Amino acid sequence: IGVGLVGFGLFFLLFGILLYFDSVLLAFGNLLFISGLVFIIGFRRTFTFFFQRPKLKGTSFFFGGLLVVLMRWPILGMLLEAYGFVSLFR
């Protein structure tokens, strides 16, 4: 279930970018990606991964970008999320 949710989340993210940053598709893709991550590695591990002390800056940019996308500013939100994603997974 988790791999499917992550796959659909990435599909919706890519499809939302291809359709000129459609905010609904981007928001849906983000939510599916996060929920798939929770299904794959578990709630506690996901929480501890995102809220480690050295990764708080990346987490705040990632979730801040998600919030900005939900407020219908998709380009700015995706830029914030991209920076947070790179900062989290480097």
For residues 45 and 10, membership in a common domain is answered with: yes
Q: Contact 2/34 with Cβ under 8 angstroms?
A: no
pLDDT along the chain (90 residues), means of 10: 96 95 93 95 94 95 95 94 93
For residues 34 and 45, membership in a common domain is answered with: yes
Per-residue confidence (pLDDT) for residue 90, from 0 to 100: 86
For residues 38 and 57, membership in a common domain is answered with: no
Per-residue confidence (pLDDT) for residue 89, from 0 to 100: 86
For residues 27 and 63, membership in a common domain is answered with: no
Q: Contact 31/12 with Cβ under 8 angstroms?
A: no
Neighbours of 44 (CB within 10 A): 9
Per-residue confidence (pLDDT) for residue 82, from 0 to 100: 95
Print the domain residue range for 83: 52-89
Cα 71 to the chain's mean position, in Å? 15
